[in-house]
Amino acid sequence: MNPLKHVAIIMDGNGRWGLRYKNSRNAGHKAGLSTVEKIIKETIKNKIKFLTLYAFSTENWRRPKTEINYLFKLLENFLKDKIEDLNKQNIRLKIIGIKSFYPKLNKLLDISEKKTFKNNKLQINLALNYGSKSELVNACKVLVKNKDKINESNLTKYLQTEGIPDPDLLIRTGNTKRLSNFLLWQLAYSEIFFEKKLWPDFNEKDYNKVIKNFKKIKRNFGKI
């Protein structure tokens, strides 16, 4: 059985779900947040140490302002309501991506990260304003500036995921098969599961089914 330390998820399908059932994309994001909470609980039950969630990509700025504002407000309210609870549960929150939002949200993200810094039951990496290509370019710039030897382990040091093991498993919901500029370096050897269900419909049972199937895979890492 494969050990499972790190699950990464592309939570796709909120917009379609919202339009289909509530005639509003934003309603889909709200429903998607409930799925986030369910999946966090189930991740703890499965004793998985790292959960990386793609919440907002560098490309998502191309969406209408009203949708962007709604997403950030949802995140702000979530952190205000839940950060104490996450902290009590010994969960660490880390942001990967560039924290450049409105001042209130930037501050709340900083506070949440600092408050939970020492926690070690589960680390949630929230990818916000994250893009893998720019992460790699920035890492290269630092590598060159520091005159470090160019090799894999030195490059890895300057990624935002420094110190985090690579994902063992990537799940993408929403019936779309692409990586959308997410963790392109870190996913080099991850097992990838594409799920037909839209993110708000994805539930604990679906998650456990993926985990069960992941555990059965023969992972070779290039060997035979």
From the CB of 13, what's the least distance to ligand FPP, in Å? Answer: 5
Using rule CB under 6 A, residue 51 touches ligand FPP:
no
Stretch that binds ligand FPP, among 52-60, 140-148, 155-163, 216-224 (CB under 6 A): 52-60
The active-site residue out of 12, 129, 168, 206 is 12
Site for ligand FPP in 151-170 (CB under 6 A): none
How many amino acids of this chain bind ligand FPP (CB under 6 A)?
A: 20
At 57, give phi and psi (nearest 5°): -95, 165
* Interface pick for ligand FPP out of 4, 6, 9, 12 (rule CB under 6 A): 12
Determine contact, residues 61/101, Cβ cutoff 8 Å. no
From the CB of 191, what's the least distance to ligand FPP, in Å? Answer: 21
Q: Rounded CA gap, 198 and 21, in Å?
A: 12
The active-site residue out of 2, 60, 119, 181 is 60
Residue 108 or 159: which CB sits closer to ligand FPP? 108
**Helix or strand or coil: residue 50?**
strand
Site for ligand FPP in 29-48 (CB under 6 A): 29, 32-33, 36
Residue 77 or 208: which CB sits closer to ligand FPP? 77
Using rule CB under 6 A, residue 127 touches ligand FPP:
no
- Which residues, other chains included, contact 96 with Cβ-Cβ below 8 Å and sequence gap of 6+? 52, 125, 126, 127, 128, 130, 135, 160, 161
**Helix or strand or coil: residue 125?**
strand
Rg (CA), the chain: 17
Does the annotation mark 12 as catalytic? yes
- The beta-strand segments (E) located in the chain are 6-10, 50-57, 91-96, 122-130, 169-172, 191-194
From the CB of 7, what's the least distance to ligand FPP, in Å? Answer: 15
Residue 14 or 52: which CB sits closer to ligand FPP? 14
38: tokens are 């369910």
Q: Rounded CA gap, 144 and 90, in Å?
A: 37
Does the annotation mark 166 as catalytic? no
At 218, give phi and psi (nearest 5°): -85, 110
Residues within the interface to ligand FPP (CB under 6 A): 11-16, 29, 32-33, 36, 55-56, 60, 71, 74-75, 78, 126, 174, 199
Catalytic residue IDs: 12, 60
